[in-house]
Amino acid sequence: MTKLTLPNGVRVLTHPMEHTRSVSIGIWVEVGSRHEQPEESGMAHFIEHMLFKGTKTRSAKDLAIAFDTIGGNSNAYTSKEQTCYYTRVVDRYAERAIELLGDMLWNSVFDPEEMEREKQVIIEEIHMVEDTPDDIVHEYLWEGIYKNHPLARPILGTSETVASFSREQVCAFYNKMYHPSRIIVSVAGNVNDSLIQQIEKTFGAVEWENQEQEEVLPAPFYSVEIVNEREIEQAHVTLAWNSHSVLDEDIYAIVLLQTMLGGSMSSRLFQTIREEKGLAYSIYCYHTSYIDGGVFAIYGGTSTDQVNELLAAIDEIVKDICTTGFTSQELDNALAQIESNLILSLESSTTWMNRLARNEILYGEQHSVESYLEKYKAVTLEDILRVAQLFQNPKSCSILKPYAS
């Protein structure tokens, strides 16, 4: 792996994989929904869409045709803390892909007519989430546990905020947040010197005014109980506890806890809630971590008349874990699962591209696969029991159920 910082601040990370013909390219921007003001809610995601809608020399259709011509699988996404534009192409098209991504990033025109059309597209995307109960129940939860903090707001924004965006607002946000120092070009696969030179040419020549980094406010965690009713058939339940930052040294124990509790078919939640009690078809847990905090959550979908029974069963499981922990066999199984998933994923150039960028964003340096595995293997049953005490803290609950008959 090599790292190159261009004169304007753009960081270029490359990982050669000579055995493959693919090249995965990611343009990462250190901006997400938590960097928005309330009236800007959804702005980072809106800009992600708009970068595909035309540049100074290419229309939206021209960009689509150009990516299709090189056979690239191109897309983008916005999270709470980052935005990523990515593609995976055959190696002979990699330089062309770099030029296209650079054109989108630096030369998008934010055409007013395209903006109005894309607002409607995103509003429909918002409606789609609102019509998906097992998605919106988590949005309700985040609104409750983070209240007025930016992390509480949906990444997509609301229909009202998106409809209100002016071109002036969008350009001001872009000019502030897309500073070259926030940009990472991450490339993995069949990388050669010619491709690196193309990256330097495309991403190194852009100059930007120096701007101060805005303060990222820490996120408090509130214990709340939220109940909503919708015209649906099934009840959806999500429980959440305040948890660890992605940078916390206990994050490896947390990942193992999540795996053993609800990350597989042999997990405690799956075996007890679904297989033994038949209370839910879908039952799992997940950990969402940010640079300054995190949330440990459990989700289950069940019939309305079984909600209380489901909650009681989950409560019994987490109390048992807080008291007796897990067995050595469960820990060994979780370690084997994590190790296998990690090693097998590294056969993909896309996985390497993602790893390079995330390591740079979080740590400012690269951590080897071996070092990660060593940290997982160093976790003991006592460590798991210790971090599981988070379940002793006040929790939050979001329940979405059918209208009462």
pLDDT confidence of residue 295:
97
Domain check: are 39 and 127 in the same one?
A: yes
DSSP per-residue codes, 224-293: -EEEEEES-SSEEEEEEEEE--TTSTTHHHHHHHHHHHHSSTTSHHIIIIIIIT---S-EEEEEEEETTE
279 domain-assigned: yes
pLDDT confidence of residue 119:
98
94 domain-assigned: yes
Distance between CA atoms of residues 293 and 240, nearest Å: 13
Owning domain of residue 350: 225-402
Domain check: are 141 and 268 in the same one?
A: no
91 domain-assigned: yes
Report which of 311, 371, 369 is spatially closest to residue 345, judged by C-alpha positions.
Answer: 369
Tally of domains within the chain = 2
pLDDT confidence of residue 205:
85
Task: Please say whether the beta carbons of 395 and 140 come within 8 A.
Answer: no
Distance between CA atoms of residues 33 and 78, nearest Å: 8
Q: Residue 185 forms beta bridges with which residues?
A: 12, 27
Domain check: are 188 and 261 in the same one?
A: no
pTM of the model: 0.94
Report which of 176, 181, 193, 203 is spatially closest to residue 364, judged by C-alpha positions.
Answer: 181
Distance between CA atoms of residues 81 and 88, nearest Å: 23
Domain check: are 378 and 335 in the same one?
A: yes
pLDDT confidence of residue 1:
83
Domain check: are 319 and 280 in the same one?
A: yes
Last residue of a domain, which of 175, 204, 233?
204
Task: Please say whether the beta carbons of 222 and 146 come within 8 A.
Answer: yes
C-alpha separations of 294 from 219, 253, 290 in Å: 9, 14, 6
387 domain-assigned: yes
Domain check: are 199 and 230 in the same one?
A: no
Domain check: are 54 and 183 in the same one?
A: yes
pLDDT confidence of residue 210:
67
Task: Please say whether the beta carbons of 137 and 398 come within 8 A.
Answer: yes
Domain check: are 181 and 299 in the same one?
A: no
217 domain-assigned: no
220 domain-assigned: no
Domain check: are 63 and 145 in the same one?
A: yes
Mean pLDDT, consecutive 10-residue stretches, the chain (405 aa), reads 93 94 96 96 98 96 93 90 97 96 97 97 96 94 95 97 98 95 96 95 86 76 95 95 95 97 94 95 95 95 96 97 96 96 92 96 91 96 98 96 84
pLDDT confidence of residue 218:
83
Last residue of a domain, which of 172, 204, 236?
204
Task: Please say whether the beta carbons of 207 and 132 come within 8 A.
Answer: no
326 domain-assigned: yes
Domain check: are 180 and 234 in the same one?
A: no
Helix (H, G, I), strand (E, B) or coil at 338: helix
Cβ neighbours for 195, distance < 8 A, ≥ 6 positions apart: 23, 94, 95, 98, 187
Domain check: are 89 and 236 in the same one?
A: no
Q: Which residues are catalytic?
A: 48
Task: Please say whether the beta carbons of 315 and 323 come within 8 A.
Answer: no
Distance between CA atoms of residues 24 and 189, nearest Å: 6
**At 253, phi and psi to the nearest 5?**
-65, -35
Angle 32-36-37 from CA coordinates, rounded to 5°: 170
Last residue of a domain, which of 204, 237, 260?
204
210 domain-assigned: no
CATH number of 68's domain: 3.30.830.10
The b-or-e profile of 285-321 (16+ CB within 10 A means b, else e) is bebbbbbbbbbbbbbbbbebebbeebbebbeebbeeb
Domain check: are 193 and 302 in the same one?
A: no
First and final C-alpha spacing in the chain: 61
Distance between CA atoms of residues 254 and 174, nearest Å: 36
